[in-house]
Amino acid sequence: MRMTESQLRSLVRDLISEARWKKGRKDRVWKPNAIQTNQGKYDPRNDRHRQMLAQDLYKNMTKAQQGFTTKSIRYLKEGEEIVWKKTFPNGMKLSVFTSVKTEPDPTQKSGKTFRFAPRAKGRVYFKIEYTIPGAYARVAGIPQDAQMYYSFSSTPVNRVGTFAQIIARINAGIEGLEAFGDRIQKAAAYFSKVAKGDEDIADVEAALTDALPGRQTMSQDV
């Protein structure tokens, strides 16, 4: 079957796009979770299990991960979610929405504790954000009405399995997106191409999705 000119151009574009993302890319290497977690299979209906998993994730983010910050525990209001944030050297921001929220607990000295929200009331997901600096946009010739702020969110992390398995999935997502951030050394130039229409937003979504483990995907926030 002979290909039309448009089909041939599309094929060449796909091949170039694939080669661009594979160039210099380091494959993710799976590492066992080094943080000692509570043993057992996670049951979202069990308040104790929701509390134990929240403790494991907090321990993981403070010991196994580097460069992330969050609001001080003492300043979190009841029902407020713990969100971990990290800014890459290129200016891109990674946020991990943990679905861990404060709940009242009279048995604790502080009167509150942390628990994973039930599945119907919360989800664990990642967000990547970037804003093209105004000064760079003017030099790059980006139209004033072009999009300057970009935000992409992932589908939820699977919360089925043992505590260690869930933490491992979260770590794999963080590591994949950190690798993506390292590859985009000049984020302003990269997103300027998107703003001017030289790069398709679908290619960015595909690259972010490729960075995530399993069946997770990432798409632009509307």
Identify whether 24 is part of a domain.
no
Identify whether 33 is part of a domain.
no
Location of structure tokens 């979504």: 205
| Residues 152 and 218 sit within 8 Å (Cβ to Cβ) | yes
| Residues 150 and 194 sit within 8 Å (Cβ to Cβ) | yes
Q: What are the tens digits of pLDDT across the range 106-130?
A: 887 777 888 999 877 889 999 999 9
Nearest in space to 56 (alpha carbons), one of 42, 70, 68, 45: 42
Does residue 166 or residue 112 have the better pLDDT? 166
Domain hosting 76: range is 44-220
Identify whether 38 is part of a domain.
no
What's the rounded Cα separation, in Å, for the pair 166 and 160?
A: 7
Identify whether 68 is part of a domain.
yes
Identify whether 148 is part of a domain.
yes
| Residues 179 and 21 sit within 8 Å (Cβ to Cβ) | no
Identify whether 114 is part of a domain.
yes
Burial environment of residue 22 by CB neighbours within 10 A (0 to 12, 13 to 18, 19 or more): exposed
What pTM did the predictor assign? 0.80
Q: How many domains does the structure of the chain reveal?
A: 1
Identify whether 7 is part of a domain.
no
pLDDT band at 138 (very low <50, low <70, confident <90, very high): very high
Phi first, then psi: what are they for 21, rounded to 5°? Answer: -75, -25
What would the DSSP string read from start to end of 134-173?
HHHHHHHT--TTS--EEEEEEPPPP--SBHHHHHHHHHHH
Location of structure tokens 């800014």: 87
Nearest in space to 102 (alpha carbons), one of 112, 92, 93: 112
Identify whether 215 is part of a domain.
yes
Which amino acid makes up residue 109? K
Q: What are the tens digits of pLDDT across the range 174-219?
A: 999 999 999 998 999 999 999 999 989 999 999 999 999 989 999 9
pLDDT at 6 over 60: yes
